[in-house]
Structure formats: C-alpha cells, structure tokens
Amino acid sequence: MKDIIEIRGARENNLKNISLTIPKHKLIVLTGVSGSGKSSIAMHTLQKECQRQYMESMGMVTDYLNKPNVDSITGLSPSISIGQHNNNRNPRSTVGTVTEIYTYLRVLYARLGERPCPSCERQVKPTFERQISLSTPDKESDQLLEEESDEEHIVECPFCQHKLPELTMAHFSFNKAQGACTSCGGLGFTSQIIQEAIFDEKLGVAQGGVKAWDTDFILSYYMDSLQSAAVHYGFEFDVHLPIKDYNEVQRTLLFYGVSSEPFQAMFPGKKPPKKVGEGKFEGIITTFQKKYHEALNDEESRKKWTSYFASQTCEACHGTRLKKESRVVTLDGASIVEVNEYALDELWDWLQRLHSKLSEEANVILQPILQDLTERIRRYLDIGLYYLTLSRSAVSLSGGEAQRLRIASLLGSGLTGVLYILDEPTTGLHPRDSYKLLAALKRLRDLGNTVLLIEHDVDVMEQADYIIDIGPKAGKDGGYIVGVGSPQELQRIPSSVTGPYLFTHTPYRGAPRRTKGNQSLVIKNASEHNLKKVTVSVPLHRFVAITGVSGSGKSTFLFDVVEQAIQQGRSDERVSGMEYISKMITVHQEPVGKISRSNIATYTDLFTMIRALYAGLPDAKRRKLRAKHFSFNTAGGRCEKCKGLGVLQMGMHFLPNVEVKCPSCNGKRFKKDVLEVKYQGYSISDMLDLTVEECLPLFEKHEEIRRKLELLIEVGLHYIKLGQPTSTLSGGEAQRMKLSRELGKNRGSHTLFLLDEPTTGLHPADVERLIAFLNKLVDQGHTVIAIEHHLDVICAADWIIDFGPAGGKSGGTIIAQGTPEEVQHVESSYTGQYLKERLSSGH
C-alpha cells in the first residue's frame, strides 16, 4: 500500500494544473493567503474525489456525477471532512444531547435515582431485582442506552405502599411527554409578544397604529377585513380611533382575530366568517405568534420575528425544561437538573465520587455505562472544552466549539487509515488552548491516520510534520504550489509566502496608540451567564480588543451585555455613554446564508444593479428581456431544468445527496437567449464567474456598483467570485462580507463596530491588511471593539480588556485592562504572558 497520495494535473477552480505528493500518516498543514486555492485542493479535489471513488466502488455513480478537474489521484484513503460551521439550529439541542452525555445521565437517574413519595414524602430508593434481569455484565453500553418499551411498570413505596410509575429514561427527557415541562414544552423558556414593537396605541389603525402595515395596499386590505368582521358581528370598528381607546371587543378582534377563544366567547353560537371579504381576520398577535413558532428552526426568519418577542424563563420549570416529578429525583444528593448545569470538568469530578460510592448491585448494572461515559468526557476535557455546561444550547456554540466537539467524538471512534480534512480547527482558540487541540490532532495521527488541516495559525504550522503552501496570491494569481516541506524547510524557500512568518514572531506595528478623548461606554455590575458583576469603562474612538481563554465571558460581555443594551436603548444605572454613539454595526460569525441560491452578488445587492444594467443593453431590449429575466430565482430567464441552480440533486439513498451539473444549461443557470446578451463580452453567467477584483475595471463608470466592489476589496474579499454561494464562505469570510454590506449603508457620525474574531480564516499576510482597515475606521472617528485571539491584532489594539482567569464558572472576571504594553506586565493574565513574549521579540 502506498504511503503517499499523488495528485496529478489538478485544475479545480483557480488551481494551475498542479501536481502534488502528500505523505500519509502525518500532520499536514495546507496554508496560503485567502483565496489562494487551499479549499480547492482539500475540499473540491481531495474530498470530492474520495466521495466519488467510494460511491463508484458501491456501484452508485452515474454518467453525470461531477469528477474533480484533475488528471488523476492515487493512494486515496476514506475521508472525513469537518468544517467550522455550526449547522445545528435546533433550539432543543444542548451540549448534553449533542455529545450524548445527557443520554447516559438519563440512564443513571432512571436506574439509580431516589425520589420522595408524593404520599408520605419519605425517600423511595431504586430496586434492583428487575434491573439486574435486564442488565448482565456482558451487555454493551449501547444496549443499555436503548429506550425502554412503552410498557409502564409500577413500583410501591415501601413505607405506605403508594404506587408510583417506575422511572424510565423518558422521565428525564425534555423532548418526550413523560419528562417535558407542560408549560414550555421542554424549551425552558416562554415567549411574550412585545406589543410596543407592533402597535403605536396613540394612533388609529388608519394612521399607522399597526407598525407592520407599512404600505397603502396592506393597510387598505386589512382595514377592509376588520370592518367586514365588525359588520358580521354587529359592532362598529372605527379605524381612526386611537387603539388605546378601543373597547374590549374591538381590541380582542384586532389582537387575536375572529377564530380566537376570547373573541368566540364574546359571540357564542356565531360562526366565524370563512372568507377575508366577509371578515375572516386572524388577529395581529395570533399571526405574529404563529410566524414566530414557524421560524424557530430557520435562521433568517427567526431574526425577523424574534425582534417582536421577549423570551423569559419558564415560570413553571424555572428554565430546567423538565416536569417537577423528574426534577425531584436525586442521585448522590443532586438532581439531574443540577448535574446538567455542571461544566464538563465538574461533571468528571462528580462521576468519580459517584463511582466510588456505588454498591455491588449498581456496579453490575451500570459498569459499562460509567466506563463509556467517563471515557467520553475525558476526550472533551483533553481537547479544551472543559468549560462547556451540559445545559448550554447547541445553537449558541461557536463554529470552532462545534467543530472541536466533532473532533473529540472522532478520537473515540478508533478508526485508522482515514484521511481527516479539517478546516481551521484553531478558530476561536486562545493561544493557551491551541496546544490541547494540537495534542488531540497528533493522537488522531498516531492512530494511523492522515490529518490535513487548512490552517493559518503560525504556532500550529510550526508543529506540523509537513506544510503545503499555496499562492502566491489570491484568485487568478493563486493556485500554484509555492513551497512544500517541513516548517524548517519551508522557511528557507524564497518563493514561499508563509515561510517568512515561521519562527519569527515580530509583532505588527500599526498606527500609534490613540489616547486622545475621554468619552467612554461604562458597564456596571454585568452578571449575565458567567460574568461576575463586571464593571468596566470601554474607551470610545479606539480600537479595543476583548481577549481571554475560551469560555471566559468575552462573547457574553460583548453581545449579551453591550450589544443588547445599545439595541434596546437601555441607558440606565448599568450602562452609560450610549449618547456618544450614533449607530451600531454588529458582525457575528454566523453563516450569511445556507441556501444555494444566495451568493455574493445577491447578498450585497450587487446583482440587482447588474441585472438592471444588463436589461438596459440594446440587445436585451431587442429581445424584450427585463431585469427579472437575468435572475436565476424567477421563471422566464432561468433554466427550468435545474430551476436556475446550475446543478441537479441526485439522491443517494442512505448517503447525502450529490450535486451534478445540469445537462440542459451545462451549469450556466440561464436560458440560451439570456446568455447571448453580453456586457463588455461577458454574459450574466460569465459575470457571476468573475472575482470581485476582475469585475472592478468593468464597472468603472457605474459608481454604485464600483463602490460596493471597492468595499469588498477593502475588507480583503477581492478574490471571491460574485456567484460563489454564501453557504461556502468560512466564518471569517462571512463576517467580512457582512461588514462590507453594512459599510455600504449610510454610517453615523460615530459608529460602534462590534466584531467577533475578524481574523478567522486569514493568512498572516492578510491579517496585516485587515489591521490597516480597522485602524482606518477608527481614524475616521469610529470605535471598533473586537473579540480576538490573534496576537498581532491584540498587539495593534489601542486598548485591551482581558477576561479570565479560566473558562466557564472559573471565568467571568476582568483580569487585565490597558494598552498592550500595560497588559503584558499583568502576571495573572494568560494573554499578558503571550503578549510579553511577542512584544519583546520585536525589540
């Protein structure tokens, strides 16, 4: 068997017919500036061909299945790729459910839990007779994890003979009726509509009292419906009367509609109208509540509807998601609710204590479970996720945290001979935490696997066995191999873009520290999540870096405290200084879109202007083509075979669907007559295939288009194609895309920018350009506050606020604040320790 993977003649995307030999069973870093072709090699060539060859061996390949644009690849292994996006948007998912640790705990509580008898209130202990018959020492843990049957067994209180249902795993599941709180349905929170966000009760409906009815057509439509309903039920509905003066019947109609229980109770026996023209009206609040619940699992829709709702902790279960009967069951004195709030390192300690106290009978039943559970937790601890609590919502995990959870699960799989392809696994990690991840990746390698990382972290590159450097630049100027070898060898290769950054930690020297001005945003006694009554003064008109180890409270402080306070206009004794800020722009790491129809051109509104330009061309007018014909989202101009996607989905039964090029339009997305219309020699499909940088000279005379393209170039996205799906962007690219879109809008005189690790996905050479751009924003009079781990960015900041000392419950305190030169002398600060080393190396 070959110990190498050989790629010959790779031409995918911008790759320049490259040939490459990759050693197996090594830790390999694939690096290069943004857009140089790293993903084209790793994902679009290696991973794609691995998938194709596997399916071919299963007899599942059709003639249309896309083969990567490569002459040959030999020596391939089965591959597993792990990106950095957190795709779990289910509000019911938690760290405990995603890792299956909570499933193990449900078994422990169902088998060993004690509970008070509801009749005599004495503790009913577990009985082992039936459990021992169900559990034999040779049973594997996965057999024990299986849900019990629907058959209900009864146990008696030994003191008063009161009958109780035997505890099962379902009693501790917030996704099942037996365990879920009936008030919130197992979500832990209830949502109350914010009426002030929907109604201006000083106005009548006709004067704009319902804020969502913001066009004449919509307003007229609903006013007619309301008045028809009033006629149907025999009362008057004056659309000019202020809403605050409506009587109970009028308010109930407007708020809840004709089919609602409270309105029906006012007109017993009167059937509601079935047609809108006759007065069928759903009610504003009823409609909003329905839309909100429909949007819970949809990222874009949820953002729209959540602004009208205030979530509050469920009063019945106090946010625990479980019924009272489940919450009172204890094990070693702790309920499952309490254990669910433990961080992973605390859970480890609790399990060690529990194991030492188990009786011989309990050991017979649960030894396999406890062994698997402790081994599973150890893997998460080893990878630096000790601070995560089981109750933490999976939706709230960063892309890096979600990726590391998956890496930890792979460490327990025992697979060998696998090619692992990981996209920037150090994303979101403080330098102190990177070494734990690196140790885990080396263990994965030592199991007999090949670990290929797309990575820009210099510290990780220096620990690699082998580096492949792609460049020299981005887009059409990239796609070449500019250096390969060990880190030491790469450093000596003149053509390598990365080599000069290895083993030479000279800090980036940006603009001089800004010290003028005394305006500041003051936060007092912030206690959200793990914050310990944090009081801090954030200087304005500066570049401020928020630092600290993973889980120390950075995101909570910036987004749950600062962003929320400004968003809600909450200037009070806790937050002051908001009067200095005219506008706030927040750019998170969340993906900008998951649907294949969303691309760079559509997201930035460039496509609207470009379509209008094409529709105005003489050839388009002669063909009677309008702007809509140049859209792949609407019928008329798009290819109807693929509905404008350019690809067809091929079902693979038990495997994920595969995309194949549309045979009708050959992947061009449009009909032939639309493609024949050219602007400066380019069809609309050709235009979408150009990079931002390539497009700029074509639109020199079109100011609006040119300005948007220039902004994309300014934030370092010159290499991205206009038609690239937004779902393929890395977290850092997505963030810079959002930043460019926001910058295209009118900015206030003093804009506050809140950024979440803007250097994600950036090569050291690109980081320097980003720092210059952020400094430019501050020099224009704005404030930039960024969560950041990259030491060069931290060195370039005017001010640092460092959280710690550790993650989770051990974090939430400000360890140091000041200029980089001041923070480096704070011995208790991990950031300060790394800063001291970096700053001193520059002298």
The arithmetic mean of pLDDT across residues 93-101, rounded, is 93
Q: Where are the domains of the chain?
A: 4-86+397-501, 95-187+317-362, 193-311, 520-591+735-841, 600-725
Alpha helices in 562-617 (DSSP H): 564-567, 600-603, 606-615
393 pLDDT higher than 80: yes
Query: Per-residue pLDDT for 295 more than 60?
Result: yes
Beta bridge partners of 21: 6
More confident residue, 170 or 398: 170
Task: Tell me the average pLDDT across 519-544.
Answer: 94
pLDDT of residue 512: 72
Q: Can you give the pLDDT at residue 570?
A: 63
pLDDT in tens, 140-186: 555 555 545 555 788 999 999 999 999 999 999 998 989 999 988 88
- Evaluate if residue 536 carries a pLDDT over 80: yes
Residue 420 pLDDT > 70: yes
pLDDT at 630: 97
pLDDT tier for residue 655 given thresholds of 50, 70 and 90: low
What is residue 138's predicted lDDT score, i.e. its pLDDT? 45
Query: Two tokens at 468?
Result: 């492949």
Task: List Cβ neighbours of 692 (8 Å cut-off, separation of 6 or more).
Answer: 600, 709, 712, 713, 717, 718, 719, 720, 721, 722
Each as own residue / partner, the long-range contacts of residues 512-520 (CB below 8 Å, 24 or more positions apart, any chain) are: 513/798, 513/819, 514/541, 514/542, 514/543, 514/778, 514/798, 515/798, 516/541, 517/541, 519/577, 519/580, 520/577
Predicted confidence band of residue 133 (pLDDT cuts 50, 70, 90): very low
Provide the residue type at 367 as one letter. Q
Task: Look at residues 430, 288, 247 and name the one whose alpha carbon lies nearest to residue 831.
Answer: 430
Residue predicted with more confidence, 631 or 56: 631
- Do 441 and 463 form a contact (C-beta atoms < 8 A)? no
Instruction: Please say if the pLDDT value at position 286 is more than 50.
Output: yes
Once rounded to an integer, what is the mean pLDDT over residues 519-530? 93
Nearest-angstrom CA–CA distance, 9 and 583: 51
Token pair of 656 as six digits: 């994920």
Count of positions (residues) in the chain: 843
Gyration radius of the chain over CA positions:
30
Spatial distance between the Cα atoms of 588 and 784, rounded to a whole number of angstroms: 14
The DSSP code sequence of 311-377 is EEE-TTTTTS-B-HHHHT-EETTEEHHHHHTSBHHHHHHHHHHHHHH--HHHHHHHHHHHHHHHHHH
- Give the pLDDT confidence score for residue 635 in this predicted structure: 87
Q: What pLDDT score was predicted for residue 736?
A: 85
Q: Is pLDDT above 50 for 558? A: yes
One-letter amino acid of 781 = G
Express as a percent the part of the chain with pLDDT over 70.
90
Task: Give the chain's end-to-end CA distance (angstroms, integer).
Answer: 51
Comparing 56-70, 158-172, 423-437, 594-608, the range with the smallest average pLDDT is 56-70
- Lowest mean pLDDT across 164-168, 366-370, 448-452, 701-705: 366-370
* CATH code that applies to domain 95-187+317-362: 1.20.1580
- Of 13, 77, 27, nearest to 49 by C-alpha is 77
Distance CA 293, CA 305 (A): 9
Q: What is the pLDDT of residues 185-229, one digit of tens each?
A: 888 888 888 888 899 999 999 999 998 887 778 888 899 999 999
* 390 contacts: CB under 8 Å, gap ≥ 6: 94, 95, 96, 101, 102, 105, 339, 340, 341, 342, 344, 347
Amino acid 568: pLDDT:
78
Answer yes or no: is pLDDT of 43 > 80: yes
Please check the confidence at residue 136 and state whether its pLDDT lies above 50.
no
pLDDT in tens, 456-492: 999 899 999 999 999 999 888 899 999 999 999 999 9
Q: What is the pLDDT of residues 249-261, one digit of tens each?
A: 999 999 999 999 9
**What would the mean pLDDT of 685-697 be, rounded to a whole number?**
95
Long-range pairs for 172-176 at CB < 8 Å and ≥24 separation?
Answer: 172/105, 172/106, 172/109, 172/110, 172/322, 172/326, 172/329, 172/336, 173/106, 174/92, 174/321, 174/322, 175/92
Alpha helical stretches, state H, 172-283: 195-198, 216-233, 248-256, 261-266
| CB burial string 371-383: b at 16+ within 10 A, e below | ebbeebbebbbbb
Per-residue confidence at 87, pLDDT binned at 50, 70, 90? low
Cα angle 303, 307, 310 (rounded to 5 degrees) comes to 120
3-state secondary structure 496-536: CCCHHHCCCCCCCCCCCCCCCCCCEEEEEEECCCCCCCEEE
Does this chain's domain 95-187+317-362 share its CATH topology with 600-725? yes
pTM: 0.79
669-679 confidence digits (pLDDT tens): 999 999 999 99
Are the C-beta atoms of 552 and 528 separated by less than 8 Å? no
* Average pLDDT value for residue range 719-729: 87
CA 555 vs CA 261, 505, 545, 568, 723: distances in Å: 43, 27, 12, 18, 32
| DSSP conformational letter for 204 | -
Minimum mean pLDDT among 522-536, 741-755, 765-779: which range? 741-755
Pair 720, 712: CB distance under 8 Å: yes
pLDDT at 491 (0 to 100): 94
**pLDDT reading at 515 higher than 80:** no
Q: What is the largest CA-CA distance in the chain?
A: 93
- Who has greater pLDDT, 72 or 414? 72
Instruction: Assess if CATH 3.30.70.1450 describes domain 600-725.
Output: no
Percent of the chain residues topping a pLDDT of 90: 60
What are residue 473's DSSP bridge partners? Answer: none
Q: Using CA atoms, how far apart are residues 769 and 793, in angstroms rounded to an integer?
A: 11
What does the alpha-carbon distance between residue 496 and residue 484 come to, in Å, rounded to a whole number?
8
- Give the pLDDT score at 551: 87
Mean pLDDT of the chain: 88
Distance (Å, whole) CA 152 – CA 136? 22
DSSP at 561: I
Q: Residue 504 burial by CB count (10 A; 0-12/13-18/19+): exposed, middle or buried? A: exposed
Q: Is-contact 443 456, C-beta < 8 A? A: no
- H helix or E strand, kind and range, residue 301: helix 299-306
Mean pLDDT of 774-792: 93
3 state DSSP class of 63: coil
Q: 165 has which bridge partners?
A: 154
Fold entry, domain 520-591+735-841: Rossmann fold (3.40.50)
Distance CA 207, CA 201 (A): 10
Helix ranges (H only) for 383-424 are: 399-411
pLDDT of residue 134: 45
How high is the pLDDT of residue 342? 95
Q: What is the mean predicted confidence (pLDDT) over 560-577?
A: 82
**Which residue would you say has higher pLDDT here, 466 or 588?**
466
User: What pLDDT score does 745 carry?
Assistant: 75
Q: How high is the pLDDT of residue 86?
A: 64
Which pLDDT belongs to residue 141? Answer: 54
CA–CA dist 651, 653 (Å, integer): 6
Closest-CA residue to 33 (of 399, 479, 428, 400): 479
Work out the pLDDT band at 657, boundaries 50, 70, 90: low
The better pLDDT of the pair 609, 574 is held by 609
Is residue 345 a contact partner of residue 381, using CB atoms and an 8 Å limit?
yes
pLDDT score recorded for residue 843: 38
- Residue 498 has φ and ψ, to the nearest 5°, of -85, -35
CA atoms of 680 and 702, how far apart (whole Å): 13
pLDDT in tens, 325-361: 999 999 999 999 999 999 999 999 999 999 888 888 7
Given a cut of 60, is residue 285 above it in pLDDT?
yes
pLDDT at 495 over 70: yes
Q: What is the pLDDT of residue 135?
A: 46
The pLDDT score that the predictor gives to residue 132 is 46
**Tokens 């388009």 belong to which residue?**
620
How much is the pLDDT for 233? 95
Contact by Cβ (8 Å): 308, 196: no
- C-beta separation of 184 from 317 below 8 A: yes
The answer to whether 841 and 826 have CB atoms below 8 angstroms apart is: no
Topology at the third CATH level for domain 193-311: Helicase, Ruva Protein; domain 3 (1.10.8)
The domain made up of 4-86+397-501 is a member of CATH 3.40.109.10? no
Residue 672: Cβ-neighbour burial (10 angstroms; 0-12, 13-18, 19+): exposed
